[in-house]
Structure 1
Amino acid sequence: MTDLSHIHAAAAPRTRLAGRLKLALGVFAIMAVVPPVAQALDEPFVVVIATRMMIFAIAALSLDLILGYGALVSFGHAAYLGFGAYAVAILSRAGMDDLLIQILAAMAASAVFALVTGAISLRTRGVYFIMITLAFGQMAFFFFVSFSTLGGDDGVALAARSTIAGMPLLQDAQGMFYATLILLIAVFAGLYRLTLSRFGRVLTGTRESALRMEAIGFRPFPYQLTAYVIAGCLCSVAGVLLANQAIYVSPAYMSWHRAGELIVMLVLGGVGSLTGAMIGGLVTIALEEGLARYSEHWRLGFGMILILVALFSPGGLSGLLRRLGLVRDGK
């Protein structure tokens, strides 16, 4: 008889990828119809909440690259949200309101910070890596707290949202929503391709066993550092959007509490799964907004939900969808 084991082995990854992509496309389709549905229901604030959900989905996606695929638990990742937000504030004061310029400036600043701090942090392992990334994140936080010309600890309000090619496309809620959706799709698509590439496979291999990767000729450090820089740059994009959505910038965006919330998003959605990370970001903000309407003690309810997910679905919500058969592969 013909041995079909190699055919099944090759088909399994394709099945997983197809399931992952279908789930992501479904999420994008649902998000795309939020504004017209909200308008029909006369609930315009839903569009504002959905925009915030997508912003944090971008931040969660960026963190999943290093935490989910590289097993690098960074507690300073929220610093890049701050770099993106303050790039908007600083450039706006200098008369540069174009969104693309602000994104490029935010990514450049984040790349430099990530390259320097990552080169140091990645020489440590385990809890030492966690603590040193936390220390660098807090250094950035306190730098902007002492930045008195931009409001210090109180933050600063922006005069207006950014423009796109000179046009005020972000001034209304729907324009802001669809610009964020486009960037979310772009970030997901870019990371999706990256994780399927040779680079992504090596990064995943270092997560499983760095010693084994070294034994077959791959040095983990350059791959991990590159992923660390890419993740920081992408998170800064979320920071640029967050500043525009709130029309306000504050050092609170980059506190260690925010970094912890990003990790919670991955745990809730599914670590090591881009679709899970995106779902985790969307659902976390939705739960926060929804529970806060009913009680000021909403964190208690959110904590109970997180515990239930951790106990009964270790793969997060994406894993739960797979187990329920709603998606052939939730990853």
Structure 2
Amino acid sequence: MNNQLNLRALVGGALMLSFAVLPIVAHLIGESYFITYATRILIMALAAAGLNIALGYGGMISLGHALYLGLGAYAVGICAHHGIGNGWIQLLVALGVGGALACVLGLICLRTKGMAFIMITLAFAQMFYFLVVTLDDYGGDDGLPIAARSAFGGLNIENSTVFYYLSFAILVATLLFTARMVKARFGRVIRGCHSNHQRMQTLGYDTMRYRLAAYVISALICVIAGFLLANLVRFASPSYLMWIVSGELMVMVILGGMGTVMGPVVGAVVILLIEAVFANSSFGLSTELATFINDHWMAVLGIVVVLGTMLVEKGLYGSLPERRNRA
């Protein structure tokens, strides 16, 4: 047998190993800020991995998943505002409200397709954004500060390293779940609906039920990401619900590789590293030029996205070869 080099496994393994040892390296070099920023990358990668279930595997082009990210964040903020600091209660509220809302909106959105689906998911997200802005008791458009991170008993997530590894563990669990789901009957049906919806209906599958389940799972993962994001920054902002955030998550999935387990993680790493480098570095240039680059770092991101989609059709990670066994 001829075993080709599995670059996907090597790149994915190296990336996750880097995440695993990053806090150790950060402490050794005395740069604790790296831990905080890497935690943000993990959380956004988690949200992108959630969207990937709907978009990459289910073919549901949603511009409204920021709604669930924001919902998770506001569940923490509103509970804390009313004196409920228990993380398990906050998480239960977030998942309960997020799951119920995803079921209702999913039943509505999935009755449409194509551009109509895209626009209706966008419309719902914007509707809830404007709703949150009007909630003056919870900060309105100024957002809602959170005095302390969620309390989980013996798990002290006030410690940045502990919180980092909690976020890392949740991301790993999500990726493992996705990998198992894709190979299971449920995952095969979802991918079949993406490839040929009518054929799957002809074969007798209740495609609405399968697609709704995928949409809800996708939404709940984004809710958990929002929960973690609020704890990271200790703030719930209406901006989390804006369609721009949904667009950023979609770019992460597409740039990394739709329909691949590690693609969203790669996309999140690339985009947030570009932001970290070009939005905050001087590059040894004059103050005026460095400021110009810092203020227009998204132009650099745009160039990367354009080149990425042109040169690697399946995304940066998705275009890497997998090992094939040939007799």
Scaled by the length of structure 2, the TM-score of the pair is 0.90
> How is 1:217-256 mapped onto 2 (pairs within 5 angstroms)?
217-256=204-243
Give identity over the alignment, percent.
38
Q: Give matches, 1:75-86, under 5 Å.
A: 75-86=63-74
2:296 matched to which residue of 1? 297
Q: Give structure 1 stretches of 5+ with no counterpart.
A: 1-7
Q: How does 1:82-121 map to 2 (within 5 A)?
A: 82-121=70-109
Does the CA contact (< 8 Å) of 2:279 and 2:295 recur in 1? yes
In the TM superposition, residue 45 of structure 1 has moved relative to its aligned partner by 0.9
The yes-or-no answer on 1:52 pairing with 2:51 is no
Structure 2 CA distance for partners of 1:213 and 1:253, relative to 1, 3 Å:
same
Structure 1 CA distance for aligned equivalents of residues 197 and 30 of structure 2: 54
Deviations 1:204-257 (A, max 9, x none): 000000011111111211111111111111100000000000011111011001
**1:320 CA displacement:** 4.3
Per-residue deviation, residues 136-179 of structure 1 (Å, max 9, x unmatched): 111111111111111000101111111222x4611122122111
Partner of 1:5: none
Structure 1 residues 44-63: Cα deviation after superposition (integer angstroms, max 9, x where no partner): 11111100000000000000
Matched, 1:190 2:190: no
1:117-266 equivalences under 5 Å are 117-165=105-153, 167=154, 169-266=156-253
SS of 1:135 mapped into structure 2: helix
* Residue aligning to 2:289: none
Residues 150 and 156 of structure 1 are in contact (CA less than 8 Å); yes or no, is this contact kept in structure 2? yes
- Structure 2 segments unaligned to the other structure (5+ residues): 282-293
Q: Using the TM superposition, give the Cα deviation of residue 84 of structure 1 relative to its aligned residue in structure 2, in angstroms.
A: 0.3
1:37 corresponds to 2:36: no
C-alpha offsets along residues 21-66 of structure 1, whole Å, 9 cap, x if unaligned?
Answer: 6644432211011111112222211111100000000000000001
State which drifts further: 286-295 or 240-249. Answer: 286-295
Q: Contact 1:74 / 1:133 at 8 angstroms: preserved in 2?
A: yes
> Is this contact kept in 2: 1:23–1:275, CA < 8 A?
no
For residues 114 and 320 of structure 2, what CA distance do their matches in structure 1 show? 31
Q: Which runs of 4+ in 1 moved over 6 A?
A: none
Equivalent residue letter for 1:304: I
Partner secondary structure for residue 199 of structure 1: helix
Aligned length, in residue pairs = 312
